[in-house]
Amino acid sequence: MHKTLLIRHLAKTLILLPWALACGPKPETPAAQPSGIHFTVDETTGNLTFLGLDLDGHNYAGGSGLWRMYYNTPEQKEIEITPLDGTPEVRVAGDTVHIDYATLAGNAFELHLTLWKEDGQLRFGATVKNNEPHTIIRELQYPLIGKLQLPEGYRLLTTHTGGQIHENPVWKISNVDTRALYMTPAQKFRQMDLQYPRNAASNCFAFVGEKDGLYFGSHDTSLQQTWHGLRTYPDDGGIGHVTEDFKHLEAGFYRYPNAMCGDKWSNDASVVMPYVGDWRETSRIYRSWADTWWHHAPVPQWVQDMTGWQRVIFKHQYGEVLRTYEDLPGRIAAAGESVGCNAVLAFGWWDEGMDNGYPNYTLKDEASWKEAIAAYRAGSAIPEHLPGQGCEATRRDSTACPKNRLLLYFNGRLIDVESDFYKSGGGSRVANKDNTGREFTEHYKFTGEGTTLGYYDSRTFVIADMSKREWRDQLIRWADRAMEYGADAVFYDQLGVAEEFPNWDLSREYPVQDIFTGRYKADALREIRDHIKAKDPEFALGTEWLSDCTSQFCDFVHIVEFTALPESFPEWFRYTFPEVVWSDRCVRDDNDVPRRVNNTLLKGLRNDIEVFRCRGLIDETPVYQAHLAKVNEIRHAFPDLLLEGRYTATDGFTCSNKALTARSYTAGNRIAVVITNTGDKKQRGKITVPGGYSLTGSRTIGPSKVRKNCVTLKQNGLAVLIFEK
């Protein structure tokens, strides 16, 4: 029998969470964690044999190896090394377990692993050294908790799109989208693709139960691109023939040392923590770490009070004019007013049209555009006088209070290969290059009513490197241009996320991808923010894609994917980072409107009104128009809670019926509880707010009733209850 090394941590742990918002009571007190985490490592193999909160309690570990590594030679890419390919020396020094592989692949590589306990968390460190000429260590998958033993009923919580929860994690991972499996060794394992900061908005995931769970966090202030490793495997050494064969769960993190001969690489940012509590405990753990680097300045109050925006394309990519400048203070403004929305996110306002000509944004008639913006902000028709005079009459100043707000679009990263900038050499100067030195390209395939545009005649773009000074100066000039036009905000598309097509460095023996593109975008947004706030603190900055590393520098964020899928759980990010204002997406017509719009209020999101994919207006979708008007009427009735308050998810109240979904907002001595019913049967429930709170008001939408603090909701009914202390 193999011996095991046991490390005990006896100090009682209490996770404390400092919250930046001043309004409202703090979230509920975190649960005191038990007397630390316990783990055991096999003295012979270095495998993790125990991981849990109590030596006599549940063991999450499955006794598997903790790592995998991949390297390249000139003849072969991605050669795998596993713990079976080496013999470790396992030792204890102080409170740290060391697992050392002095010789791997002959004497080519060294791998030194450490495990220790810190603040109730199990931390993992790794150092790799490459001693072999003409090789590169590309990838280290560590730590890996293989054959993960989850209690019955645990769910997988990811930060995809701000949060998703999946029932039955093994089934979910084993049944990933099979369309992509043609290009993977899917007979060996199934893998859920999650990267930070891309589709994962924060650098953590967890397996959550009702009263406890297992948290995985990459607490890495470098903000390097990190893969959340979620896989299922068939039996040891076997090949999976059917989905049911993939029954062994593995979780961990994948990183990219790109270490060539003579290089040494280290990282000690991985954390695994069994915890006591519900899903909110994972939020507290992550935010406690994020507070060491995450700094979000207060947003202008008009942004807090913004219920959302109409996202409108004026001229499309292929030349079709969908809206004129006169429509902005005319029909567009009227459509927004009909649903209580006073902001427009303007796309395609330049002569070339949407997704065309970047970075030119040619505008021959700037005077008319300025005048349309001024008239829209003032809530009036364009006056009949010389172009430009209306803009001057309603310019932003310290006392102005516009009726409407204009958010001006620029694409933050795309360069049209037919633009003057590209043709004059801009592409070679600032565009990302692939592993052969050629420029990456993207193709945008908007269609008209025929088929040629979407399948054959699309536009081609290269991708700007955010680390380049020339490109950042371009972004800042656009902010100045938006201010000059009289807009209220500048919006940069696609800057909220790590680059899908990063630049590759070809200066050494092997090409190496840049894994810090998320950090570059964060740095660019911080620089833009500082520039515009020095000129006008009320001028706002927004971007697309949600990630914590970039949203800290933005006043608002336009989400990139659906937020009302069955697995959507955006309350995770809203609860963790309540300072961030961000939107829903993909409500584009009159389909499934009440449920999805109710979800937006329930989860604390703003409405992205993109009717017919930004080609229509909400007055063309009467169901959407009517329901959103009712929701925004409630928002405007309680703006201090539902727009300006802190989103507190499930804190501060209880709901007697689990078939109802309820979430809270807090401000001062008041709490709003939003309750919805997505089921097809009528449901009743009692909302209780302890601590001396009394019901002072309520509003309902749809088939709903409120009697005292009891609600009765039919399908897609919604109620908002206001309690005051």
> Within this chain, do residues 222 and 354 fall inside the same structural domain, yes or no?
no
Q: Is residue 63 part of a domain?
A: yes
Q: Which residues share a beta bridge with 684?
A: 712
For the chain, what is the radius of gyration of the CA atoms?
Answer: 27
Query: Does residue 455 fall inside a structural domain?
Result: no
Domain carrying residue 669: 647-724
The 10s digit of each residue's pLDDT in 646-702 is: 999 999 999 999 999 999 999 999 999 999 999 999 999 999 999 999 999 999 998
Q: CA–CA separation, 570 vs 628, rounded Å?
A: 20
- Are 162 and 582 in contact, with CB atoms under 8 Å apart? yes
Q: Is the predicted pLDDT of residue 391 greater than 60, yes or no?
A: no
Predicted confidence (pLDDT) per residue in 476-504, tens digit? 999 999 999 999 999 999 999 999 999 99
Residue 191 domain-assigned (yes or no)? yes
- Span 377-387, mean pLDDT? 66
- Cβ-contact 43, 28 below 8 angstroms: no
Q: Which one, of 146, 2, 6, lies nearest residue 63 by Cα? A: 146
Rama region for 162: left / alpha / beta (φ>0; ψ in -120 to 50; rest): left
- Same domain? For 530 and 653 the reply is no
Query: Based on the domain organization, do 364 and 272 belong to the same domain?
Result: no
| 271 and 381 part of one domain | no
Q: Looking at the structure, do residues 183 and 311 belong to the same domain, yes or no? A: no
55 assigned to some structural domain: yes
What is the rounded average pLDDT of the residues 406-410? 98
DSSP tag of 327: G
SS3 307: coil
Stretch 522-541: mean pLDDT: 98
User: Are 279 and 313 found together in one domain?
Assistant: no
Q: How far apart are CA 608 and CA 561, in angstroms?
A: 11
- Specify whether 402 is located in the same domain as 325: yes
Q: pLDDT grade, residue 57 (50/70/90)? A: confident
458 inside domain: no
**Residue 324 belongs to domain with CATH number:** 3.20.20
Asked if residues 646 and 668 have their Cβ atoms less than 8 Å apart, the reply is no
Q: If you average pLDDT over every residue of the chain, what do you get?
A: 92
| Gap between the Cα atoms of 517 and 505, Å rounded | 13
Say what the pTM is.
0.93
Query: Are both 190 and 332 inside the same structural domain?
Result: no
The domain boundary, picked from 290, 324, 351, lies at 290
Q: Look at residue 40 in the predicted model and tell me its pLDDT.
A: 95
Residue-wise burial string across 138-163, b where 16 or more C-beta atoms lie within 10 A, e elsewhere: bbbbbbbbbbbbbeeebbbbbbbbbb
Parallel, antiparallel or unpaired: strands 405-411 and 489-493 = parallel
Same domain, 86 and 225: yes
Inside any domain, residue 626: no
Does residue 461 sit within a domain? no
Please write the tens of the pLDDT for every residue from 268-319. 999 999 999 999 999 999 999 999 999 999 999 999 999 999 999 999 999 9
Res 236: pLDDT: 85
527 and 654 belong to one structural domain: no
The answer to whether residue 635 is domain-embedded is no
Record the tokens describing residue 379, joined without a space.
């809530």
High-pLDDT (> 70) share of the chain, %: 93
Q: What is the number of structural domains in the chain?
A: 3
Q: Which of 290, 325, 348 is the last residue of a domain?
A: 290
Q: Provide mean pLDDT across the span 397-425.
A: 89
Of the three residues 263, 290, 317, the one that is the final residue of a domain is 290
